[in-house]
Amino acid sequence: MPFQLDPQLVKDCHLLLQWPQCHILLHRNAIIPWFILVPQTDYADLLEMPADQREAVLNEAASLAKMIQQRWNLKKINVAQLGNVVPQMHLHVIGRSPTDPCWPQPIWGNLPEETLDYSVTEVQEIRASCSLLNPH
């Protein structure tokens, strides 16, 4: 069966593009630069993956992190692979700043109730920034 993204992730995110290892998703809540990488794998947890595959996934995450740091002019990146709610493996890569509304807490459960979506232009620009990256 071809790989299919989890419907909850599709609902929560803008689909940006596909890299060799991962689908790159942008969470719709624009209050925080929050990206989700979905590796095309049946493994449920990052630490279960074979080392070479895990490394390839993390190279893509590292490329994305640099783009986030540049575009949003911030230094701090949070990275996490939880998957307690959505079982399909996905890696959160999140740009953080002392001026963001959840700092210093993790974002889960601490985002403001009001959400702010990206404009169509912003999504296009972010997709273009990602497509310029060479994650390997």
Residue closer to a second copy, measured from CB, 50 or 117? 50
Residue count of the chain, please give it.
Answer: 136
Neighbours of 114 (CB within 10 A): 8
What's the CA gap between 62 and 112, in Å, rounded? 27
Residue closer to a second copy, measured from CB, 25 or 65? 65
Q: Which two tokens stand for residue 35?
A: 């990206």
Strand, coil or helix: what is 72?
coil
Residue closer to a second copy, measured from CB, 2 or 104? 104
> What's the min distance (Å) between Cβ of 125 and a second copy?
22
Residue closer to a second copy, measured from CB, 7 or 106? 106
What's the CA gap between 58 and 39, in Å, rounded? 10
Residues that bind a second copy (CB under 8 A): 44-48, 51, 54-55, 58-59, 61-62, 65, 75-85, 93, 96, 103-106, 108-110
> What's the min distance (Å) between Cβ of 104 and a second copy?
4
